[in-house]
Chains A and B, each alone.
Chain A
């Protein structure tokens, strides 16, 4: 290899992002506290630049570079566009919140962009090593972000739990990868797929490694029985960071799952299908049933995340193009819903007050009917009530499962989404039918008001007209996973 043959074009967005982070680190040193807002603007400009680079680097067919360790394909392209958008929304939603809580420091922005870089690397990895390094880059940045508020005991505890369990999950993942390496002699995903398909791999070792890979992946997704960290971290972390953990990383985790199981271990479908089915059923059941008794809305949304990951797996485990693309659609819609729900919670929080209880939303309609309506859209969408986007997402994964001949699983998923509707509706009841217990003014920056409104209305628009996004997901999956 020499520099002349090194094609940097597919990795253009990542290179730009990394350079921008380095520049931001230096600029941060030159700024005093009053002018820290410059970093906010520069971070948003960086994200816009990344999206522009992504547009330039767009490719309709998979292109590999860096000695086949990096791949740019439609799947990674589409997901990266959403990653930039979601990260921008997170920064806009959390600006006032972090400023009120002494977290408005340069590190807040650089760590967030580092996390984004880690997700980008994960999404574009075609080698187990880069998959793992991307994951660590993301996780390390998130651990630090959770603990950024040093004086908060729950946040430190949440960071500690996330760190210890995350390290354990990484250990499981690495052990599984080493077993797969032993069986196939390669860490390159395409080579692994080829060796397994040719039947030359050691099947016992492969399945042995697969068990650990699935366990590690479920840890990262937060699916039962590897979900213990999710409620504690969601509740303990500052709401701004909870929003960050609960949004973009789920998209990256979906691609992570697709790269390892869908691309690398595609020939072992019959093996991982059963494992994921158990995980999906348990996640939907435990997530929805436990969420009913929660009074803390962050904890409730954490259990709801667990159940959503179960639904995502229902689509994914069919292993065909329809199921995978429905899971991708579900991941995107889930992220939009959780952005909207946490966005409203952030809008209602102010200096010295955290909006964390379901009771804090009481009578929101009297205080501000627009935010109550946006929360209503998010809750109805999560519950899967037509015509919102969450309905179509659930419909797509359940249809994919039924078409793949898994009717009992599909029926179970429908039942669980009915149970789930209860606790989402409880939030709506608190907002519309209870009397307000306080009348503090809701002050929200204009940029957040605009983006949050667009976010809520997107849930409605994508529910009425889902075809474009569904078709986009289908094309991305079909073009990227060539074996399907």
Chain B
């Protein structure tokens, strides 16, 4: 019964030790607190020779555990590690430092340089893109200005052409009107002249008809004879 109780009491104690051992001591010696306490317990058990008695003392006098714990937790020097640790740690540091200097640093530096170069390149590209964009914008604005100028010029030309066409049409219309007036006047004058000529011809016809009738009435045999005689004298050239 007592062994069983001791085992039951030892279980949490071992769990505590395992916890302390795996949790790691604050010491830099590489030995955990658990393992230290276990070593102390083993030494105590070897000194007394009876596990139950040791457990009983630990159960009655809790200061023993506290003593173990304080003794195991406290490192020999909180600052200066063990010599071998310094050696191994220094060697490892040196190796790691050399590796870092020889391999890691150039790689990191190369990566950083590449990164910086990439950033610089990206910045240059961005600057170039900005310049290109400004150039495009300037070109667009120039084209827009040219388009506005061209549109304005076309409008002015169209207006000038329209004015010219309007002026030409007005001039042509005036010329046509003048031509029509001139033709009308000419036709009127021609009609007037023709009417006068017709009237004159008509009057002449009437007058000549009357004269012919008068002449015929007056041309008796005596007059005919005188006309013939006068003709003969005229042909002979003796009519003076």
A, B from the same assembly: no
